[in-house]
Amino acid sequence: MTVAAELSQRGRSWLRIRAIARRHAYVLARSPHRLFDVTLWPLVDVVLFGSLAAFVGTTSATGTEKVSGYLLAGIVLWHVIYQSQIAMSTGFLEETWTRNLLNMMVTPVREVEYVAGVAMFGMIKLVMGVGVMVIGALAFFSFHVWSLGFGLIPIAVTLLIVGWAISLFVIGLVLRFGTGAEALAWGVMFVLLPLSGVFYPTAALPTVMQPLALALPTTHAFSALRGLVDHHGLNWSQVTIAGAGSVAMMVLAAWFLVRMLTTFRKRGYITRYT
């Protein structure tokens, strides 16, 4: 038997997950432009939306504090989805860009271990990106995100799950349709952002779009966030809807990915990447 038998099945699995996470740490450390995703762009978003809040707040009856709360808390929490989604999607896309997919697929790595490894390192990127935003909001606009309280945690967890679910959909589409589908990794976020009511209630959306917005778990998560900004406490019914929706989305995304991977193997699409 090979030496792999020295470790237990669980031990080997954990070793593989950590190895995948470390591989992506090297990618980040040796691709300085990738650091923009977790440093510069989050900071640019804080400056943009913080400045917008400062301007609108001085000219509106709502007041600077509340507008800052809506815009800055909204953009910081939006980055939870963005960072988790981009970290996972680009983690997989890195394998296709560098023609490394076959190298990975012939190893004993199970699909779930690969996803767990990329997600593990993605959490570090998420902490970096959101950390930069929290510090930026405090330093430039005296807005303390944590002043909103522990209610942020269930909202952030829901958004994290949505981000991962979207990335599994994107990976499934890339497996099925090739790298042309990777534009979705970024494009889908531009659709989700306005529909989710990140900065405003869905009542502000065109009437025709409101039912679609209400079907998204993210809409309910950001609605709960506005409740915190308005000092109304955590709206658990909104969080529950968001949580259930995000879990359902995750299950659907995992099912979709497994189907696409089966098709990938049946049709021999690996030859696209060798």
Partner 1 sequence: MPGEPVLDARGLIKDYRRTRAVDGIDVVVGAGERVALLGPNGAGKTTTLLMILGVVQPDQGSISICGIDLARDRSRAAECVGFAAGYLPLTERMRVRECLRLYGQLYGLADPGPRIDEGLERFRISHLADAMGTELSSGQRTLIGIVRSTLHRPRLLVLDEPTASLDPDVALRVRTGLVEIAANEGTALLMTSHDMTDVEHVCERVLFLSAGRIVADGTPASIAAAYGHGNLEGVFLHLADDRSSTASQQSDHP
Q: Where does this chain bind partner 1 (CB under 8 A)?
A: 1-7, 11-12, 15-16, 18-20, 22-23, 26-27, 30-31, 98-100, 102-103, 105-110, 262, 265-268, 270, 274
51 or 179: CB nearest partner 1 = 179
CA distance 57 to 272: 52
Tokens at 160, concatenated: 């994290």
**Structural tokens at position 102:** 């076959």
Nearer to partner 1, 121 or 143 (CB): 121
- Min dist. Cβ of residue 166 to partner 1 (A): 25
Q: Using alpha carbons only, what angle is made at residue 126 by residues 12 and 232, rounded to the nearest 5 degrees? A: 125
**Smallest separation, CB 268 to partner 1 (Å):** 5
Distance CA 239, CA 225 (A): 9
Q: Least distance in Å: CB of 170 to partner 1?
A: 21
Helix axes 183-195, 217-229, angle to 10 degrees: 50
Burial class (CB in 10 A: 0-12, 13-18, 19+), 109: middle
Look at the alpha carbons of 4, 7, 9, 10 in this order and tell me if their dihedral is positive or negative.
Answer: negative
Nearest-approach distance from CB 44 to partner 1, in angstroms = 25
Which of residues 232 and 267 has its CB atom nearest to partner 1 in the complex?
267
Beta carbon nearer to partner 1, 58 or 100: 100
| DSSP secondary structure code for residue 39 in this structure | T
For partner 1, the closer of residues 39 and 96 by Cβ is: 96
At which residue do the structure tokens 């990335």 appear?
Answer: 167
Q: Compare residues 179 and 237 and give the one whose CB is closer to partner 1.
A: 179
Distance in angstroms (rounded) separating the CA atoms of residues 24 and 38: 14
- CA dist 9 and 3 (Å) reads 12
